Chains A and B, each alone.
Chain A
Amino acid sequence: MSGNKNFVLGVYDDEDLLLKAIKDVRESGVKIYEVFSPFPVHGIDDVLGYKRSRLSIAAFLFGLLGTTLALTMQIGMMTFDWPMIIGGKDFFPFPTFIPVTFELTVLLGAFGMCGTFFVVSNLKPWAKPRIFDERITDDKHIIAVDIDKNSMSEEEIKKSLSAAGAQEVNNKSFE
């Protein structure tokens, strides 16, 4: 079994119960790996103790890269490489650079954000999807706990999940 990833799954069928269960389970000292839910549950980020996503910082940095690229390119071309007079403007017609700069900022910001999201979420084409339970796309909420990442024993984790009102507690392992 070495190399395998072992999980304990607590199955819940009500989102209010789920929110309370997450709180209780965390308070009992169990580290939650992930919670799966068929629909967005309000306030779930707070009870899970998730910090605000830093994706916006990535967006800002990629956007800045786009701005720099656009300005360098346009100034390099129009002002130094091949200066041209267009419509009576001088070799540094800054206002005409603004639309392109804006577009490249948005484009690189969006691409960069998508890329960052894929990397962070492990969404590479060759990644094997881990299907914890098929009912998570139907009507069940599931709290998954990684046994190896917890100092507690499997039994204790199971007890904690049941005590928090789980309908059933299952084992699941992936290669």
Chain B
Amino acid sequence: MALAKAINESLRRALESDPKVLIMGEDVGKLGGVFRVTDGLQKDFGEDRVIDTPLAESGIVGTAIGLALRGYRPVVEIQFDGFVFPAYDQIVTQLAKMHARSLGKVKLPVVIRIPYGGGIGAVEHHSESPEALFAHVAGLKVVSPSNAADAYWMMQQAIQSDDPVIYFEPKRRYWDKAEVDAEAIPGPLHAARVVREGTDLTLAAYGPMVKLCQEVADAAAEEGRSLEVVDLRSISPVDFDTVQTSVEKTRRLVVVHEAPVFLGSGAEIAARITERCFYHLEAPVLRVGGYHAPYPPARLEEEYLPDLDRVLDAVDRSLAY
């Protein structure tokens, strides 16, 4: 099942099992979303459950907050990463803080789906990775699946969470297929997972970069190097324990994400792992990601995005210490 289809199936299951679950967003109804992630849901659950909204991101999130206060569990779609900013105020000043402000009396089980990241040749504002901006805000949880099975189960868990969850969907992986076991018992939403065992160096990534890191590990293996790949899955909180365990074994860490490296989530991981694993590390934690520049036009995005060679270069630099 493709990743986009897995999310669709997961939303369908949530709509079926809980009458309080709502889908909201621009074009999510008849069109099924610009990526068809909500395809067919309005047809089967009606316009009251799968709601086409005015083109107003702040309005979408602000009314979702009100619906959550009334006892609903809205899952809202922001059409693309770069369009989330009109809603940023509602997310940061309202959604993230209301539970604390009410001393726990109010719960806001709102999921905000954001297709994010580049690599699909899109125009401006359609390829960004703003996850660090949300992970920095207390009160929000931020996750990103890397494969169809996780996409399915992490969506189930995000909807069931009583906290607001920002659910970043790696749009360039929407069409990647994997087995999805709808009967499985999933692990915790915020647990990282070692997706490939290795002994020489740890690659940590999430969302669209996990697949790349697995390819890097394949390529490195041909050169006789054994890389371990950790799929973080959750960006807030980060499962540092799993990363620490891996780094204590391999003694080297490279963090890979599409977002700009400066003050990105890789910086936090590098700092924390350095603190936790100082005497185990053979090399400084390195980061591979975007530059401190606006996301470039599509013809340049291959230069901007981490690719096989850039990650391998970082691996070489780490191993050279």
Q: Do A and B form a real pair?
A: no
Binding site for B on A (CB under 8 A): none
Binding site for A on B (CB under 8 A): none
